[in-house]
Amino acid sequence: MTSRPDLPVPFEALPNPRGGSVRLAEMALTDALHAFQRQGETGAALKRAIAALHSAGWLPGQRFAEALALVAPLGDESEGSHARIADAIAVFRGAVERHNLRELSCSTGLFDHYRGLHALLAAHTRVAPVSYDDLALAGRAIAPATLRGIAPERLAHLRAHYEATLLKLLRGSAEESANAFARLDTCLDELRGSDPYDFWRLASSTVRALRERAERSGGALDHIADAKRLYARFNLVLADQAHALTYAPRSLVRATLALLWRDFALYGAAPEDTEHVDVLRDYGLTVAWHVAATPASEAAWEAGAAQASEEASRDAATRDLGVLRVNAAAYEDFLQSAETSIDALVERGTQASETGTVDEAAALSAADASHRLGAAACALGLGHVALLADTLGLAWRRVAHHGETHADGAEGATRGIDATVPERAAQMLRSMLHQAAAGIAPSEGRGSIVALTAMIEKPALVAR
């Protein structure tokens, strides 16, 4: 795992002592590791892990386990391959045992192993290259990012200035880089439009967040390198914009969004990060607010979390929701908080479906309720509930930001949406919560996610 330089212990995400555990997956991965070390058969154990992670809705974990199942038979080719796969199984098992779904999504250490597994597989078959967002954004809908129309002369001037500054950034000294960063940021600010889904808003927030994290971490070189790579890729988007394209490439939007989410998902956000968190929320991603201010308090929190986790497993009552075992107190807290959110969501969805319209404030209120529910479900380990709630929240934000205005000019009202889609999704969410309250594993809600994704990813009209 990679280290956070400002802390005395190496870790990527805080443990989640009140999070649910998938014991079947943990035991299956232990069995797989022991079998692999003895050069025995690992297929059956890894299939059990995959099935358990899928049932719990831990989709990034499921994807990682599937990669292990594909690569494990190659472990006897060389000592290096065997050691790499064994290490990947051990690290992955440790992450699953920490019960932190955001770590499973965004851990750079896990992704390094995931990429290594695919490199072994690529030596034997043609496979597509993997990117960080393959794990970080697994199963998530991505809102299209727009490119506003800019006068050709002005855009040509901005593009020339950007390219000249980019060359200085990539070839210059550290002192020159600081000045180049500032000049490139000025270019991004001039490119940025008023649309919340304007690509340059996302781009600017991401590179700034990466550099801010590097400063907090004592100049972490990997964050600076990530920022430089993004600045270089943004130059290609300028060429697209010059050819009157109205949307940024989806692959770049995913990659940029995943990098913006990475550190906030792993370490939490501070009050000064509010602008970045707002961008993430508009794309359906939530974070925890982080209040510990010093390395000592971080280390104390981690020690306390480990102790709480041990005490919880030893003393606390638990409830089983299918393959997921949850702390009973955390489970009751979740159900109480979820009831308020789901009632508000169903009410908003019903009103929108009956009238065919919804005002912006109501849509944003529904989005916030969805995000609260998604964050709470994520903390408990209810992966399917969390994904559907986050996706519904993103759908309501798209309605708020891109709904069409009433023909009669009614201020703040929107039309042109299929309001039955979020209504049905809210009803599905309520059904899943009823299942959880009854001690039954919540269903996947796959049909609702597919319908919401089609609504979210439908391009909006862009004025040029």
Which domains does the chain possess?
21-136 (no CATH), 152-282 (no CATH), 313-456 (1.20.120.160)
Is the pLDDT assigned to residue 295 strictly greater than 60? no
How many C-beta atoms lie closer than 10 Å to residue 381's C-beta? 28
Structure tokens at 193: 């439009």
Tell me whether strands 358-359 and 413-415 are parallel, antiparallel or unpaired: antiparallel
Question: Could you give the CA distance from residue 54 to residue 387 in angstroms, rounded to a whole number?
Answer: 13
- Position 182 scores a pLDDT of 93
Is the pLDDT assigned to residue 411 strictly greater than 80? no
Is the pLDDT assigned to residue 330 strictly greater than 70? yes
- Position 175 scores a pLDDT of 72
Question: Could you give the CA distance from residue 277 to residue 286 in angstroms, rounded to a whole number?
Answer: 8
241-253 pLDDT, tens digit each:
999 999 999 999 9
Which of 124-128, 198-202, 292-296 has the largest mean confidence? 198-202
pLDDT band, residue 157 (cuts 50/70/90) = very high
The fraction of the chain above a pLDDT of 70, given in percent, is 85
Could you tell me which residues come within 8 angstroms of residue 132 by beta carbon, excluding any fewer than 6 positions away? 108, 111, 255, 258, 259, 262
pLDDT band, residue 410 (cuts 50/70/90) = very low
Average predicted confidence (pLDDT) for the chain:
87
Structure tokens at 272: 């000064």
Question: Could you give the CA distance from residue 163 to residue 169 in angstroms, rounded to a whole number?
Answer: 10
Provide φ and ψ at 20, rounded to 5°. Answer: -70, 155
- Position 408 scores a pLDDT of 35
Question: What average pLDDT does range 375-398 have in this prediction?
Answer: 95
Is the pLDDT assigned to residue 357 strictly greater than 80? no
Please, how many CA atoms are within 13 Å of residue 410, restricted to the half-sphere of its CB? 11
User: Which range (144-148, 190-194, 306-310) has the least confidence?
Assistant: 306-310
- Position 306 scores a pLDDT of 59
**Which strand ranges, in their side-by-side order, compose the sheet holding 318-321?**
21-22, 324-327, 318-321
Residue 133 burial by CB count (10 A; 0-12/13-18/19+): exposed, middle or buried?
buried
- Position 463 scores a pLDDT of 53
Residue 267 to residues 149, 175, 203, Cα–Cα distance (Å): 37, 29, 21
- Position 166 scores a pLDDT of 95
Question: Could you give the CA distance from residue 187 to residue 204 in angstroms, rounded to a whole number?
Answer: 10
pLDDT band, residue 304 (cuts 50/70/90) = low
- Position 308 scores a pLDDT of 59
Whether the model pTM is above 0.95: no
pLDDT band, residue 7 (cuts 50/70/90) = very low
4 against 40, higher pLDDT:
40
Is the pLDDT assigned to residue 6 strictly greater than 50? no
Question: Kindly report the CA angle at 343 between 342 and 346, in degrees rounded to 5?
Answer: 80
The fraction of the chain above a pLDDT of 90, given in percent, is 67
Q: Is 90:97 a contact under the CB 8 Å cutoff? A: no
63-88 pLDDT, tens digit each:
999 999 999 999 887 888 999 999 99
